[in-house]
Chain A
Amino acid sequence: MSTLLIIFYFLSAITIATAFLTIISKNPIHSAIYLVICFFSVAGHYLLFNAQFLAIVHIIVYSGAIMVLFLFTIMLMNLNKEGEPHKKWATKLAAVISFGLICFVMLAVFIKAMPVIAAYKQTGQDFQSIKVLGKVLLNEYMVPFEFASVLLLVAMIGTVLLSKKEKSVQ
């Protein structure tokens, strides 16, 4: 086994274990922290693909910003272990069935999917370089890229509007 493969198995074990622990653990803070570790190991997977930019942006956005805000709200909400109400049997059954269906669909997709390494052309270009990445994003994928930014802008304006105090009616 090569070193890369060992690292891959190690990271995968961490990813899956922490992902399950996120769901299983009773304490919401613990599950948030497990999720953070999960995100870090996913960033590790990106690094294995030699996608440095993606890995670091993943850390900045998910671990550094989103999960901090998650933790922030959970800490302030002061959730107790007893506070969570028990769901009805029907709800649980529905959740299990829908999860099973999604699993089935995904399995079907992944079994059919074939690795494309054989068809991969070697161009000699350094695809992890941010220069190449930037050129591709702003030339070939210009329109989707701009759409994504417009979407973020709309979300931002919406947040500002929501958080604005309503003028009190006199």
Chain B
Amino acid sequence: MDSTFIIEKSVVIVSVFAITMIFAMYSTWAERKVAAFLQDRVGPNRAGWGGLLQPLADGLKLFSKEEFFPNTPNKFLFIIGPGIAMSTALMTSAVIPWGDKLHLFGKDILLQATDIDVALLYIFGVISVGVYGIMIGGWASNNKFSLMGAVRAASQMVSYEVAMGLSMIALLMMTGTLSLKEISAQQSGMNWNVFYQPVSFLIFLICAFAETNRTPFDLAECESELIGGYHTEYSSMKMGFYLFAEYANMFISSAILSILFFGGYNYPGMEWMVENAGVNTANVIGMLALFTKICGFIFFYMWVRWTIPRFRYDQLMHLGWRILIPLAIINIMVTGVCILAFK
């Protein structure tokens, strides 16, 4: 391990971290703007041009709020809950390839924190651990509504993980690898997986909505029944961490969706650009293409949030266990038959 390697990786890691944070921050702004526009309003427009400083103002407000503790015997767990939620939300970005590579200072720099062999499994692992933040926080709040929210979130996430994993298997049968880098590279030149696996994409999309606790599956925090769900008792920046983690999760799941199904950093005419404009230019455009796709998915999340009403809990479980899982299994079988037939 030489020092240049460490410096290179540190720069990549810090920038990935910063980008995730900035995206999560501005997602809150975008959410309010999109919500306003879909409802014929204009949204925040006082703090800075077009309300662009609104996230900073929100953060400042959350920091300066009073820290409020409920009467709980588990102060430590109460504090560590949002911490777990936040760190699991940020951990996933380690394996995501943000671009192909850059050729700087006479060496190739991978635009990825680490390219491990089991990247997709790693993502599933982190997602499955993410539920602890919600469960521990909800339980330690010593509040029935929080506990109900936590229990709902946990059972929802555990149920949808199954369908998510099964929908992935069909895709993996085609790609033959778990490394996100290789999956991205395979989809060069509009060879996107969404055209080959539309059913798998649909299931994954629905499950991603459920895993990030977004509307129409935000039963864990539905205001009309549970006040605020698992973060009812939280205030100040601990509350902010939960909200922030939700937006970071949204960003990460958008990134995974674009990498798995929409070609990642690939864009039409990338090879031509590599030949004619150089590796660096082509790959910077590739990064921009990936971020455009991510922004598109984030917008889609918000668009759906302000269109579709919340599900009922039994409908949610029905959809997860009795529709998506059989559909995913059928999809696996059909994929297997197709692979055998066209090989």
Contact = CB atoms under 8 A, between A and B. Distances in A.
A70 to B, nearest CB: 11
Given A52-B118, A71-B154, A130 B178 contact: yes
Contact of B122 (A33, A56, A63): A56
B121 A53 contact: yes
Contacts of B132: 36, 68, 71
A129 interface: yes
Nearest to A126: B117
A129 B154 contact: no
Interface in B106-129: 116-118, 121-122, 124-125, 127-129
B117 A128 contact: yes
B128 A59 contact: yes
B150 A75 contact: yes
Contact of A63 (B128, B135, B147, B151): B128
Interface in A17-54: 29, 33, 36, 52-53
Given A29-B139, A75-B139, A59 B154 contact: no
Contacts of B150: 75
Contacts of B77: 29, 33
B154 A72 contact: yes
Contact of A60 (B124, B135, B139): B124
Contacts of B154: 68, 71-72
Contacts of A33: 77, 136
Contact of B117 (A52, A57, A59): A52
B245 to A, nearest CB: 17
B146 to A, nearest CB: 11
A37 B81 CA distance: 14
B147 A59 contact: no
A59 B125 contact: yes
B320 to A, nearest CB: 15
B306 to A, nearest CB: 31
B121 A57 contact: yes
A130 B116 CA distance: 11
B135 A53 contact: no
A130 B118 contact: yes
A56 B124 CA distance: 9
B57 interface: no
Interface string B121-163: 1101101110110011001000000010011001100100100
Task: Give the size range of A's interface with the partner.
Answer: 20 to 34
A1 interface: no
A63 B150 CA distance: 17
A64 interface: yes
A59 B158 contact: no
A128 B125 CA distance: 17
A59 B88 CA distance: 13
Contacts of B131: 64, 68
Contacts of A6: none
B184 to A, nearest CB: 18
A36 B77 CA distance: 14
Given A53-B118, A60-B128, A64-B128, A69 B158 contact: yes
A76 interface: yes
B158 A68 contact: yes
A76 B150 CA distance: 11
A112 to B, nearest CB: 35
B139 A65 contact: no
A20 B68 CA distance: 33
A33 B139 CA distance: 12
Interface of B: 74, 77, 116-118, 121-122, 124-125, 127-129, 131-132, 135-136, 139, 147, 150-151, 154-155, 158, 161, 178
29 contacts: A29-B139, A52-B117, A56-B121, A56-B122, A56-B124, A59-B125, A60-B121, A60-B125, A60-B128, A63-B128, A64-B124, A64-B125, A64-B128, A64-B131, A65-B128, A68-B128, A68-B131, A68-B132, A68-B158, A71-B135, A71-B154, A72-B155, A75-B135, A75-B139, A75-B150, A75-B151, A128-B117, A129-B117, A130-B117
Given A33-B136, A65-B128, A72-B135, 18 more contacts: A52-B116, A52-B117, A53-B118, A53-B121, A56-B122, A59-B125, A60-B125, A64-B128, A65-B158, A68-B131, A68-B135, A68-B158, A72-B151, A72-B155, A75-B135, A75-B139, A128-B117, A130-B117
